[in-house]
Chains A and B, each alone.
Chain A
Amino acid sequence: METVTRSTPPPVLERSEVFLIGSLRVEGLEASYGGRQILKGITMDIPAGAVTAVIGPSGCGKSTFVRCLNRLHEVVPGARVSGRVLLEGQDIYAPGVDPVVVRRRIGMVFQRPNPFPTMTIYQNVAAGLRVNGWDRRRTAEAVERSLRMAALWDEVKDRLHQPATGLSGGQQQRLCIARALAVEPDVLLMDEPTSALDPVSTLKIEELLIELRQRFTLVVVTHNMQQAARVADRTAFLLDGELVEFGPTAELFTMPRDRRTEDYITGRFG
Chain B
Amino acid sequence: MNAEARRLRWRRLASALALAGAAASTALALVPLISTVYFVLTRGLPALNLAFLTQLPRPVGETGGGVANAIVGSLVVVGLASLVSVPIGVGAGIYLSEFGRNRLGSLVRFVADVLTGVPSIVVGIFIYITVVLTMKRFSALAGGLALAVIMVPVVTRTTEEMLRLVPVTLREAGLALGAPYWRVVTGIVLRSARGGIITGIMLAIARVAGETAPLLLTSLSNNFWHRGITDQIATLPVIIFSYATTPYEDLNAKAWAASLVLLAMVLTMSLLARLFTGGRRVVWRR
Contact = CB atoms under 8 A, between A and B. Distances in A.
A210 interface: no
A110 interface: yes
B282 interface: yes
B174 A127 contact: yes
B178 A104 contact: yes
Interface string A167-196: 000000000100110010000000000000
Contacts of B33: none
B284 A123 contact: yes
B178 A103 contact: yes
B170 interface: yes
Contacts of B280: 117-118, 163
Contacts of A176: 173
Contacts of A163: 280, 282
The secondary-structure label for the interface of chain A is mixed
Contact of B176 (A103, A117, A130): A103
Contacts of A128: 177-179
B179 A100 contact: yes
Given A110-B169, A114-B170, A119-B282, A103 B187 contact: no
Interface in A152-172: 161-163
A70 B169 CA distance: 15
B280 to A, nearest CB: 7
B187 A131 contact: yes
Interface in A95-116: 100-101, 103-105, 107-108, 110, 112, 114-116
Given A77-B101, A114-B169, A131-B187, A120 B282 contact: yes
B282 A183 contact: no
A116 B178 contact: no
The secondary-structure label for the interface of chain B is helix
Interface stretch (B104-112, B138-146, B188-196, B241-249): B188-196
A118 B191 contact: yes
A119 B170 CA distance: 12
Contacts of A120: 282, 284
A112 B280 CA distance: 22
A110 B169 CA distance: 8
Contact of A72 (B176, B180, B284, B286): B176
B173 A100 contact: no
B12 interface: no
A261 B173 CA distance: 32
Interface of B: 101, 167, 169-180, 183, 187-188, 191-192, 194, 280, 282, 284, 286
25 contacts: A72-B176, A100-B178, A105-B178, A107-B178, A108-B176, A110-B169, A110-B172, A110-B173, A112-B169, A114-B167, A114-B169, A114-B172, A116-B170, A116-B174, A117-B280, A118-B282, A119-B191, A120-B284, A122-B284, A123-B284, A127-B179, A127-B187, A128-B179, A131-B180, A131-B187
